[in-house]
Structure 1
Amino acid sequence: MPNDGIQIGNMPARPLTHVFGVEDVAGKRSTGLQTIEDFVQHLLGLAGLDPSIVAELSTRITNEISRAMAAEARSRKAEVPINGRFTRPRAVSSRLRRVANGFWFSPDTFDGWTIVWVPSRSVSAPAALQVPLLAAANLDRVRLTVYQRPAANLDAYAPGAGEWVGDVQVFRAEYPIASLLPDPLLTNPQLATLPLRGVFGVADMPAAEDLGLGYMFCLEGLTASGAPALLGIAQGVIPPVSATSRDRGWGRTPGGAWFGLGDPYSLPYVVSEAVGVEADDPARPLSQAVTLAERLEPFWPDAGLSTVEAVIPESVVEHAGQTIMVPRQLVVFSKPSEATVTDLVSVQAAEISLTHQYVSGLTVRRYDNDALLTEGVDYRVNYRRVTIQGINSTGVVFANATYTGRKSRYDLVCLDPATGAISVVGGTERGADVGEFMPVAPSWLIPLYSAHVTRQNGVDLIPLQQPPKRALLKGLEWLEYGRQRLPRLRRKMRAGQPIRIAGYGDSITELGGGGSGSGYYTVPNGTYRDTAWQNQGGYFWTGRIGADVVNALPAFDHGDGNPRHVHVGWNWFLKAAIEECSGSTVTYDNWGVGGTNAGQDEPNGLYPPRLNAMTASNPDVVVIEFGMNELGGPFTATRIYVLADYLRSLGIDVIVMGVPLIATPNSVNSIDEWRETNRQLEQGALAADVAFVPVAAFVDPDSPCPLGGQSRRTVSSTNGINHDGPYMLAQYGKLLASLVRGM
């Protein structure tokens, strides 16, 4: 259409029936709505034609316009043109696969399968059929034939040539099995994509209309000579008992007739269309978002195979001006290694960690004389925490603990936006601190999921691109709410004045250990805080996190005789952010004391000598972090309110941190107790009208996109219970620091 006329882009996606007209009469503008017939007759009448000719031409032109607009409506539904470089498939119909392992038809009985599709709307450019297949050893290729027939006859007549007189063959192509399956010899279903467009030497499948027609996709296995070959397929979700063949599909054995599948069977599939936008469309912003079209199954148990498998759900990815449909598909991971491991451990009253998270076949022998120690008599093993502890031990016995250690690994499941292909970026295998070794995707790939891969304990899938749940505090986004409650900090940042931060909490603030007594809790910093020196503090030296990780941390000398101070706690991130966003010089004082809570007993947070010593240092902002040592307790909200309200009465800005995620498989506390304490921390902070960092909204296992992309089986990498390592501490630090960025 001409640019100065009726623009197609402004037309509704339905047949044109009326025209909106504007007319200037005697200097006044009037508008009116006419039917298309009246409008055409009006135009022809202006030409001075005979009324009888006008009527005939009006009918013909009206019909042509209606047909053209109907075609335009179908085109807009399918989002064509499809000739831009951003052309991609988009699912228009699908049936999910049964998610449990083992539900498939093995390639030992059937040579043919038929999937039935009844379009719910017109599809101008069918793009592909996707099905999870298994191949027999002699399978050379798969032939796909698509028949069109009236939907009313889809259940009564079998598929295939000659089965029903009204069948119309609309597409046929053959695909080498090597081009369909990554590993044709794999004994599990793999997602196969059978293109319906662009197949060399084969005409594209024509448009599928929603005119009471159905389509039967017949898949047949063939050997190299063209003889029938056995072909397996995954099972679909169980349909209602009353479902008919169109809802289930058809099967065939070599030389046999097609038969409709019965209860409880169905066949999974995805039919997609080709859609796209022009390459330089300025209306498409450069953005990225992932929307799941179905539920993510977060855990996939080990199936006893040589590889580890999981299924990613169907999703839509918005990226760089294009929309990419990612179909539901199988992802295969290599299994991490296992080996015989010997740890030198000290058997004592305290629990001592082994260097692997997954162990079996443990034997313990004294180091000095190789005498065998007996489990249950000389020591006990906590297989959840993977620790060893002496029984009736009055001292320390050094021993060699020998076992089969199985490593785990984090991989990334990535999307190539140029091709739509899914690939796996492998990570580093580790014994127990795999959470410190999160892989990084190449710049040209989009990481969709992180996968915690174990040798015998399944796979955890963690989404990486979905937006996290919105966290609202009294109706405001948590960042805006918090920034409004930091007036002293904001004023000093804008003036470029010196700022003092006080970190006030338990061992997660302390990040060391070993100090005690009033000389410790009434004085900040010192050799036992923020330390990775093995002689001064035990936060990082538990045996679980590797010495190579700890020794690689940048070291700082605070002038107190400890040369191995580290700046990995979240308050160091807050300090750096303030300095980056202002001209202020920031001093950070660490007042953390391990094992404490927010109570009034010595040396807890409301214990007057400890609290008074901290406030006497005149901090501008105090970051409160308590709760880990009172998970599920009833008094957290009251304690936090009293503490925060007191500090606020002194003119001090206050930020309350939520409790980091605990490694619930190993902890004595439940995830519900953790959630309850975070709820109470929020309640106390809101009651005191101070800033709050809603940690739970970002790391809860039920969060749409957990912070850091980690499974809760691998958080708390320093002790396997409730002490995070440098990686997750950095994630919390960035969350805290975001409060001051942009203030």
Structure 2
Amino acid sequence: MTIAIIDGRGSKPVIIGAGADVAGTLVLQAESAADAAASSAAEAADLLADATLTNAKVKASFDTIITTAVDRPAAGNYNTGNSTNLAIAVMGGEDVPADTPLATLLVPFTFTSSAATKIIVKRSSRLSTDAWLNSQPGNAGDTVIDTREFTLADVGLVSGVGGVATIPLGGQTAPDGTLLIFDVVAVNNSDVPQYNNLSHGPVSGATQQYQYGWYRFEGQAAGFWEAIPIIAIRPAFAVTTELFDTGAGAVKADPFRSASVDVALVGNNLTVSGKLFANGNEVAVSDTVTFTAAAAGKEWAFGVYADRLTGAISTEATEQRDEELDAIEYLPATPAGKILLARALVRDSGAVGAVNCAQFRGLIKIGQEGNMARHVERNRGLLRPVIGKAMRGDAINWGGYGDSITALQTGAPSDSAVRYAANGEWRDRRSVYFSAYPSDTLALLPLFDFGDGSGQVHTKIGWNWSIKAALDAIAGADVVDYLNYGIGGTTSANSDNNGLWPARIAVPLAASLDAVVIAFGMNERGSTSTYANIVNMAGQFQAEGAIPIVMGCPRPHADESVSNWRYTCDALEAAAMDSGAAFISTTAIADDRNLGAMGMPAEALCSTNIGAGGNHPGIFELQQYGRAAVEQLGLA
């Protein structure tokens, strides 16, 4: 944006926005001459250092940018004089993205007379040519768009006092290669221009910066403009903005789209350092946030964010919840205009863990997109018959076969025939599995009546319910009949009640399932028999025409062995690959290097039964595993 400010104290204008592609409305509000003279040179130097305008590409929004003048030596001031008009020009495709709607124009006025009653804005445009910068407003090649009048009150000014005029532009756009020119003047009731003064001054020895503009001085006839040649001026202004203030960092217009940062937690201090990215540009970011310990016996979770416009780092905390229980269920959604960088869990003793969330787009780690795409392609190929049924709207029989995380049970019936049969009033219940949760957290789970006579007591949480919802969405109808065969406390072993026990597995084998999710492992972490058991199990389902999907083991609480968990996850993946089964990786979102996808440290996981195994994922975790299942199976 080209902004020519008409100097009230001399015969030359100051050009603000020098060396910059200024996208939007740059608001320049100068101090009075007296204020400027009273300011210290040291303060001026500090503000100039913070501005970081030297050789910078300064980009700004259209609505809320306000700048403040800094002091300059009296000897550097221009001689006193009066001016009337100022001209502001914007080039579409350079100063602002082509066809971007312009909301407001903010212009500073310091009146020398109290006679001003209104602001007149003449809008015109011209095409970019070799001489486009050398012609004053009103040139023969200009096309007048309109001339609009505003009372001072309309634009937020007071006669004789001045301030920043907020002039609405009504969404006007700047086409590519077109220069929009705004000729702005304050007049009295007889349309006589009223003079305004703006303090400014050059800074010697500063890097030269360049801009064009136009000006008209006292005594010059209306319509007479002098083109300002290229001049070397360092505007003595420090820029701060409501939306773009980055302190000593560079100011950007394009929103930051992603981040690559390192996260280090030391005590209650979390240091975030790395880069923010916007349309091929990158800006360094480094900041340390300090977490406040929770009250005695409490914990809370913190989100750490970067502002997409300014890069500023901020935090947001959940409400405080009972320690080692359900803070994970109250994670705030990432605020609009923010990038989630990290989350931390903080207890009364201080921060206990943090995870880097910036490494992920959704649940996929940046840099692993290719590997995940191949994984999804394999799974989707295996599930093609089921996906085809969904696309045709055909009925699908879907089975879940596993332990308590599949069952979500209140307690298994003593009658084995009832225990091995699908569904039933005792499965998909919150009353026991989530019994440690307080009532307000339990209320987060909606209840349903499954028609089994038990009433509205069932839940629809877990990966199988997520998969059913995805397939139903593909079909555009309720086509999936989900059959839950889970039994709590069981393993994949061939022993009473467990996965390979003939009496138990015979029931789902005879159910004409289209597909079945095999989900054992939590109760056998570290077992050397898991691989062989799962290969055996997958083969039996394949023999009956069911497509087996092996679910990785959810991660237990941090108090439990992570090495045993990893061993079992590796065994489950190997069994799926070797048996030709589909596979859903849980390490992809829950291993140490990937916990940013889960969004919380291991100290927050499986708190539903902490102290009694620490192996029951909570509501949020089950939702995340459900998302992973849908995405990895290619159903998203």
TM-score, length basis structure 2:
0.58
* Mapped contact 2:495–2:501 kept (Cα < 8 A): yes
2-structure distance, mates of 1:574, 1:520: 25
- Does 1:645 find its partner at 2:614? no
The Cα shift of 1:649 comes to 2.3
The answer to whether the 8 A contact 2:380-2:634 is kept is: no
Cα deviation 1:316-360 (Å, max 9, x = unaligned): 2225x474535221212333222xxxxxxxxxxxxxxxxxxxxxx
The aligned amino acid for 2:301 is Y
Match of 1:710 among 593, 600, 603: 600
Q: Does residue 1:453 correspond to 2:346, yes or no?
A: yes
* CA deviation string 1:427-463 (max 9, x = no partner): 1110021111111232122222112122214242222
1:316 aligns with 2:316: no
- Distance in 2 between residues matched to 1:205 and 1:710, nearest whole Å: 51
**How far is 1:698 from its partner?**
1.5
2:397 is the alignment partner of 1:428: no
Indicate conservation of the 8 Å contact 1:425/1:441, yes or no: no
Kindly report which structure 2 residues correspond to 1:353-432, keeping only aligned pairs within 5 A, or say none: 406-431=297-322, 432=325
Counterparts of 2:326 and 2:444, CA distance in 1: 14
**3-state SS of 1:559 partner:** coil
Q: Which residue pairs with 2:266 in the alignment? A: 300
Alignment partner, residue 136 of structure 1:
none
Q: CA deviation at 1:476?
A: 6.2
Counterparts of 1:441 and 1:592 in 2: how far apart (Å)? 34
- Alignment match of 1:331 (pick from 289, 295, 303): 289
Distance 1:599 1:622 in 2: 18
- The alpha carbon displacement at 1:604 in A equals 0.8
C-alpha separation between the residues in 2 aligned to 1:413 and 1:702? 18
- Quote the residue 2:509 is aligned against: 615
Query: 2: CA distance between counterparts of 1:474 and 1:436?
Result: 30
Instruction: Report if the CA contact (8 A) 1:485-1:653 is conserved.
Output: yes
CA distances 1:382-423 after superposition (whole Å, capped 9, x unpaired): xxxxxxxxxxxxxxxxxxxxxxxx211112112222222221
Give the gaps of 5 or more residues in structure 1.
1-79, 88-122, 129-199, 209-269, 280-285, 302-307, 339-405
Letter in 2 for 1:439: P
Q: Measure, in 2, the Cα distance between the counterparts of 1:204 and 1:577.
A: 66
CA distance in 1, matches of 2:346, 2:412: 39
1:288 aligns with 2:281: no
Contact 2:299 2:345 in 1 (8 A): yes
- The superposition leaves residues 192-213 of structure 1 with CA deviations (integer Å, 9 ceiling, x where unpaired) of xxxxxxxx978498569xxxxx
User: Partner of 2:494: helix, strand, or coil?
Assistant: coil
Higher mean C-alpha displacement, 459-468 vs 633-642: 459-468
Among 543, 546, 551, the alignment partner of 2:443 is 551
Report how far residue 271 of structure 1 moved: 12
Measure the CA separation in 1 of the matches of 2:413 and 2:487.
8
SS in structure 1 at match of 2:269: strand
CA separation of 1:287/1:642 partners in 2, compared to 1, >3 Å: closer, same or farther? farther
Q: How does 1:70-81 map to 2 (within 5 A)?
A: none
Superposed CA deviations along residues 573-603 of structure 1, whole A, max 9, x for unmatched, are 1101000012451110110001111111111
1:543-571 deviation line (CA, Å, top 9, x unaligned): 3x222211342111112232310111211
Amino acid across the alignment from 2:394: Q
> What percentage of residue pairs aligned between the two structures are identical?
30
**What amino acid does structure 2 have at the position aligned with 1:557?**
D
- Cα 1:271–1:631, aligned 2, differ >3 Å: closer, same or farther? same
Aligned-partner SS, 1:609: helix
Q: 1:203 to 1:500 in 2, by over 3 A?
A: farther
Counterpart CA distance in 1 for 2:382 and 2:256 is 32
Where does 1:531-542 land on structure 2 (aligned, <5 Å)? 531-532=429-430, 534=431, 538-541=432-435
**1:86–1:276 Cα contact (<8 Å) kept:** no
Count of residues paired in the alignment? 404
* Residue 492 of structure 1, CA deviation: 1.2
Which residue number corresponds to residue 701 of structure 1? 592
Distance (whole Å) between structure 2 residues aligned to residue 472 and residue 318 of structure 1: 18
- Equivalent of 1:125 in 41, 55, 58: 55
Cα distance, 1:559–1:740 mapped onto 2, change above 3 Å? same
Contact persistence 2:345–2:601 (CA under 8 A)? yes
Tell me, yes or no, if the aligned pair for 2:399 and 2:484 is still in contact at 8 Å.
yes
1:504 to 376, 385, 401: 401
Question: Secondary structure of the equivalent of 1:738?
Answer: helix
Residue aligned with 1:605, SS: coil
Unpaired runs of 5+ residues, structure 2, are 1-17, 26-52, 59-199, 209-245
Please tell me whether the aligned partners of residues 682 and 694 of structure 1 are also in contact (alpha carbons under 8 angstroms).
yes
User: Matches of 1:616 and 1:582 in 2, distance apart?
Assistant: 25
CA positional deviation for 1:473: 11
Structure 1-normalised TM-score? 0.50
Q: 1:724 to 1:86 in 2, by over 3 A?
A: farther
Name the amino acid aligned to 1:493.
A
Q: Contact between 2:519 and 2:550, CA under 8 Å: does it hold in 1?
A: yes
Aligned mates of 1:476, 1:678 — CA distance in 2: 20
Question: Is the alpha carbon distance of 1:300 and 1:672 closer, same or farther for their aligned partners in structure 2, counting shifts above 3 Å?
Answer: same
Structure showing greater relative contact order (alpha-carbon pairs closer than 8 Å, 6 or more residues apart)? 2
> How far apart, in 2, do the equivalents of 1:576 and 1:331 lie?
40
Distance (Å, rounded) in 1 between the aligned partners of 2:207 and 2:352: 41
Q: 1:85 to 1:205 in 2, by over 3 A?
A: farther
Could you tell me which residue of structure 2 aligns to residue 189 of structure 1?
Answer: none
State the alpha-carbon separation in 1 of the partners of residues 486 and 24 from structure 2.
54
Q: How many angstroms apart in 1 are the aligned matches of 2:501 and 2:256? A: 51
Partners in 1 of 2:422 and 2:275 — Cα distance? Answer: 51
One-letter code of the match for 2:460?
H
> CA distance change for structure 1 residues 274 and 531 in 2, over 3 Å: closer, same or farther?
closer
- Gap change, CA 1:287 and 1:607, over 3 Å in 2: farther
**Partner SS state of residue 334, structure 1:** coil
Find the counterpart in structure 1 of residue 566 from structure 2: 675
* 1:471 Cα deviation from its structure 2 partner: 6.4
- Are residues 1:521 and 2:411 paired? no
Query: What amino acid does structure 1 have at the position aligned with 2:266?
Result: W
- Aligned to 1:458, the other structure's residue is in SS state strand
RMSD over aligned Cα, in angstroms? 3.3
Q: Which amino acid aligns with 2:469?
A: A
> What is the alpha-carbon distance in structure 2 between the residues aligned to residue 485 and residue 443 of structure 1?
38
CA 687–476 in structure 1, closer or farther in 2 if over 3 Å, else same = farther
Q: Secondary structure at the match of 2:349?
A: coil
Q: Which amino acid aligns with 2:311?
A: G
Partner SS state of residue 258, structure 2: strand
Q: CA deviation at 1:275?
A: 7.5
**TM superposition shift of 1:287:** 7.7
CA distance in 2, matches of 1:737, 1:620: 17
8 Å contact kept, 1:126–1:271: no
Equivalences for residues 654-669 of structure 1 within 5 A: 654-665=548-559, 667=560
C-alpha contact (below 8 Å) 1:510/1:529 kept by paired residues: yes
**Counterpart contact for 1:509–1:592, Cα < 8 Å:** yes
Asked whether the equivalents of residues 125 and 206 of structure 1 are also in contact (C-alpha less than 8 Å), the reply is no
**Alignment partners' CA distance in 2, 1:202 and 1:662:** 64
Judged with a 3 Å threshold, the aligned counterparts in structure 2 of structure 1 residues 464 and 81 are, in CA distance, closer, same or farther, namely farther
**How much has 1:124 moved relative to structure 2?**
7.1
The answer on whether the counterparts of 2:428 and 2:459 sit within 8 Å (CA) in structure 1 is yes
Letter in 2 for 1:315: G
Distance 1:649 1:328, change over 3 A: same
CA distance in 2: counterparts of 1:411 and 1:475, whole angstroms: 29
